[in-house]
Chain A
Amino acid sequence: MKPLNISGSPHVHSDESTRRIMWRVNLALVPMLLVALAFFGLNALLISLVSVLCCCFFQWAIEKWILKVPSTVSDGSAVVTGLLLAFNVPATADMIWLVAIGALVAIGIGKMSFGGLGRNPFNPALVGRVFMLISFPVQMTTWPKPAAWFPVSTDTVSGATPLGLIKEQLSTGRTLGDVLHDPSLGLPSLSDIILGHMGGSLGEISAVAILIGAIYLLCRRIISWHIPVSFIATAFLLSGVLHLCNPDRFLDPVTTILTGGIMLGAFFMATDMVTSPMSRGGQLLFGFGCGLLTIIIRNWGAYPEGVSFAILLMNAVTPLINRGFHPRRFAV
């Protein structure tokens, strides 16, 4: 008789796998991609494709020629990074080739230099994005105005994001009420903001699409509510207090959380398993830090948007948070 297999218990395993988690995250990103196609057309598709293909290629190449380990591209994590990177850039024609550089930084420096999936301290897509923002400030802040539905032409009219416009106008000494009621600026209405019919990065514009994907991830228990809720609630409350103190200077909380990258960041980037805390308490603190830093950077920093920096800074303190927060034990 052939020898029996032996191993320690347990002898069964759930059907959970890294691969399944990553492909489910990709599935959750599809609604945002569709909205981007609807408002930015072909550019959005090309940027996403280039970004995903480059991320996969760089990971494959680094694993094959530098690390000399079996390829892990099929686990889908490089696709997640590629999509998130594409979602964080403006949908302009320049980006179609620039995003390839971002992909190299995201995968090469952000992920593989630390040893690959699971070992990177920072969210790779955000590393790529921030590199591009600092290296190509003009291209990264030239935003196409979302045209009518499904524009085929790549010659989009450029405009700023609502946050960028407001920050620029405020710096000229105007009051916020004045700016918001100036029809010449073409600021989006609340319904436009909710649907995503406004300027902004490729995947961040539609709160509805983001929420659809987020609900799917919550139901699949790939993310928990702790980070997004504390992130968004902190941003909402802080901006609310600031708005109440000085409505001429600070944006109202609803517009604050629905414009810019807060929704995308809170549900899809701050929740990255690898770079966020493990315990529920730690996750609440992490989300709070993200919200606080975002509001500080938006209102007092040089950039109109601060989500990327906020999340990266909180990524850096994640090991410290993990040290301080442990789950409640069964009985102490």
Chain B
Amino acid sequence: MKTFSMGGVHPEENKISTSAVIESMPLPDQVVVLMNQHLGAPATPVVAKGDQVKAGQLIGEAQTFMCANVHSPVSGTVLKVDTCKDAFGLAKPAVYIQVQGDEWVDTVDRTPDIKRQCDLSPAEIVDKLKAMGVVGLGGATFPAHIKYAVPPGKKAEYLIINAVECEPYLTSDHRVMLEHAEEICIGVSILRKALGVPVAHIGIENNKPEPIAVMTAMARQFEGIHVEPLRVKYPQGAEKQLINAITGRKVPSGKLPIDVGCVVSNVGTAFAVYEAIQKNKPLVENILTVTGKTLPVQHNYQVRIGISYNDIIRHALGALPETAGKIISGGPMMGKAVCNLDAPTVKGASSLLVMDEAESRRQPETACIRCGKCVSACPMGLEPYLFSALVRNGRFEDAQRRNILDCIECGCCFFSCPACKPLTDEIRLGKNKVRALMAKKK
């Protein structure tokens, strides 16, 4: 069974919410829609205070290249156009909307019918992805219309759909595959057509036998979709590692997947593509897992963007348990700790993970015993222990020479360090310093 070539770890899987059917999260009184929910520049608000909006209506327009449209997730009145602190405390431009009813723009097909036929040309598909504000839902929220408009001179040979879900706890992809296999396959077919590649490969880790069975059966009804079970190893869902696992190719340092003829999209993105292209529904919803070892219930929700973390907690749990110590947006390996629960959720938010006070604290750091576990765990073949020493001594140029920028911040080094050294933190700091130095030189 295939997997990537070097490094990797196997954290405890803790997929405890796999059997929770996706529920719809009711609408709160107010939502806040951030204008940058994607990689790149923020969208420009095109509504003003007092405007009436419908769900699916464009409220933020992409006016620069690296940008994506933002649509209203609800119907109601615009309260104000202002800034709002996101989950990590950074102020961002935002549109506040008072929710009134749930009225959608007329073009959106809200019927449950599944539409297989797609007659759009590749260019039309890309244009529609842009109009619908589709971004990658695997974590980086890269605008889809940029990814699927392959630059001249480059050629896509592989379309890879990332259904690995290698992060512990997360089950949103798992549930989407069980409940929306047909829509996903249609979405994948559309993306395949946009790129003009003969076969799309859907990579799923072997610890998900049910989704593998469901997707394999569904893929048989479609042309050119191949389900590829993969050996369980973290970080298989990282783009470079997944490409390596499925095609054997390696994206060189500083290059993009398209440079080795690959385009990778998340399975959740494929579902969003289906809804955008076939049902005219802009990206205004996420599948979000609410999970945690000590929670009495586990949930998977379909959540409109703009609903705050507090609203989700109130609906799912009533209140945060007394013992809660940390809330993570995303998985425990690469997710970010939330410091502002009033913040709205954004495109690509895949989970709300509640950690207990005890498990949210790190063990005290002890001396490095040079065991080399960080080196063997690194999927990029780097030397985290060396970066730690270089960064602590301010030797950023040496760190750059030893390819610190190749680090994908998967966290395998800190995870496996017996001395509990904050290796990933130090490397992140080092990368920022190196980037700043490079910018200065220019």
Contacts and interface: CB of A to CB of B under 8 A. Distances in A.
Nearest to B325: A5
**5 closest A-B pairs (Cβ-Cβ)?**
A10-B411, A331-B250, A118-B367, A329-B381, A6-B337
B328 A11 contact: yes
A147 interface: no
B105 interface: no
Interface string B373-410: 10100111111010000000000000000110010010
B130 interface: no
A171 interface: no
Interface in B343-381: 355, 357, 359-363, 366-373, 375, 378-381
Contact of B418 (A16, A326, A328): A16
Given A5-B361, A16-B373, A331-B250, A326 B337 contact: no
Given A17-B363, A278-B375, A6 B339 contact: yes
A12, A75, A115 — most chain B CB neighbours (10 Å): A12
B339 A332 contact: no
A72 to B, nearest CB: 8
B333 A10 contact: yes
A21 B363 contact: no
Contacts of A9: 332-337, 409, 411, 424
B252 A326 contact: no
Interface stretch (B6-14, B26-34, B45-53, B267-275): B6-14
Contact of B369 (A10, A14, A18, A330): A18
A150 to B, nearest CB: 37
A326 B375 CA distance: 10
Contacts of B23: none
A302 interface: no
Given A8-B422, A14-B415, A327-B375, A118 B336 contact: no
B326 A279 contact: no
Interface string A123-138: 0000000000000000
A20 B168 CA distance: 24
Given A6-B326, A330-B380, A13 B420 contact: yes
Contacts of A66: none
A21 B371 CA distance: 10
A4 interface: yes
B253 interface: yes
B338 A4 contact: yes
A20 B240 CA distance: 33
B251 interface: yes
Contact of B382 (A8, A13, A273, A327): A327
Interface in A94-138: 115-119
Interface centre among B367, B380, B406, B428 (most CB of A within 10 A): B367
21 contacts: A4-B341, A5-B337, A6-B339, A7-B425, A11-B326, A11-B355, A12-B332, A12-B415, A14-B9, A14-B415, A16-B373, A17-B420, A20-B418, A276-B370, A278-B383, A326-B402, A330-B250, A330-B253, A330-B379, A331-B250, A331-B253
Contacts of B403: 329
B332 to A, nearest CB: 4
A279 B376 CA distance: 9
Nearest to A12: B332
A317 interface: no
Given A17-B420, A330-B380, A331-B252, 16 more contacts: A5-B360, A6-B337, A6-B338, A7-B326, A8-B337, A9-B332, A9-B424, A11-B326, A11-B333, A11-B337, A12-B332, A16-B417, A21-B371, A326-B402, A327-B383, A330-B240
Interface residues of B, number: 66
A274 B418 CA distance: 13
B369 A274 contact: yes
A278 B369 contact: no
B418 A21 contact: yes
Contacts of B244: 330
A276 B372 CA distance: 10
Contacts of B359: 12
B320 interface: yes
Contacts of A12: 11-12, 168, 332-333, 359, 415
A331 B379 CA distance: 11
Contacts of A13: 362-363, 414-415, 417, 420
Contacts of B336: 9
B367 to A, nearest CB: 4
A331 B320 CA distance: 45
Interface in A1-50: 1, 4-14, 16-18, 20-21
A138 to B, nearest CB: 36
B284 interface: no
Interface string B58-69: 000000000000
B280 interface: no
B419 interface: yes
B416 interface: yes
Among B359, B360, B361, B369, chain A packs the most CB atoms within 10 A around the CB of B369
Contacts of A329: 253, 380-382, 403, 406
A285 B360 CA distance: 42
Contacts of A18: 366-367, 369, 418-419
Interface in B60-118: none
Nearest to B364: A70
Contacts of A115: 367
B370 A4 contact: no
Contacts of B419: 17-18, 118
B12 A11 contact: no
A234 B66 CA distance: 58
B176 interface: no
A54 B417 CA distance: 29
Nearest to A7: B337
